[in-house]
Amino acid sequence: MIDVHCHMLPGIDDGSKDLMTSLDLAQAAVADGITHALMTPHHMNGRYTNHAADVIRMTDGFQGELDRNNIPLTIYPCQEVRINGQLLDAIDHGDILTCDASGHYVLIEFPSDDVPLYTQNMLFEVMQRGMIPVIVHPERNTRLMKHPGLLYQMIERGAFAQVTASSYVGTFGKKV
């Protein structure tokens, strides 16, 4: 099984606080049947900035720790990127990591309570650059919960959506 959205890198965002916690999370993931995982720290969300080169370096370092501790998990660098006015510039300057080696799928996060007015245009521009936006945890966005047609429009135009497993099993409540 592959985890496509994982905050397991130690100490760089709101995920794992330190190496020991990260190793424990990795062992739990393997116990659950996960063999591969994308490391997706937040990037450009107003609180965290995790540049592509840093994420690659940290992912390589953590893979080394996994190997030293005989944890059979293969990890890959990626980012969970907040949609914002600097997104296209960051893509054009190589500061955005995709989820795949071919450079197609990029994880896009919205603010938790809104969908910016420029979203459709921004997603179009991302697609013009040969990338497919993957909207992460749309089920937790209050605007999309009230207006699911907005997400449907994005999907119709070529975006994908990624639902969080915790939402699927009810961790965040029945509405989500």
Any bridge partners for residue 160, and if so which?
Answer: 134
Tokens 């905050």, residue located = 7
With a threshold of 0.85, does the pTM exceed it? yes
Q: At 142, list the tokens.
A: 């209050």
Q: How far apart are CA 75 and CA 109, in angstroms?
A: 21
Tokens 């429009």, residue located = 153
Look at residue 167 in the predicted model and tell me its pLDDT.
Answer: 54
Q: At 159, list the tokens.
A: 């975006």
Q: How far apart are CA 86 and CA 89, in angstroms?
A: 5
Instruction: Give me the CATH code for the 83-176 domain, please.
Output: 3.20.20.140
Q: What does residue 115 show for φ and ψ, rounded to 5 degrees?
A: -125, 115
Q: How far apart are CA 6 and CA 88, in angstroms?
A: 24
All structural domains of the chain with their residue ranges: 1-81, 83-176
- List per-residue pLDDT tens for the chain, 176 residues long: 999 999 999 999 988 999 999 999 999 999 999 999 999 999 999 899 999 999 999 999 999 999 999 999 999 999 999 999 999 999 999 999 999 989 999 999 999 999 999 999 999 999 999 999 999 999 989 999 999 999 999 999 999 999 876 655 655 556 64
Q: How far apart are CA 18 and CA 122, in angstroms?
A: 35
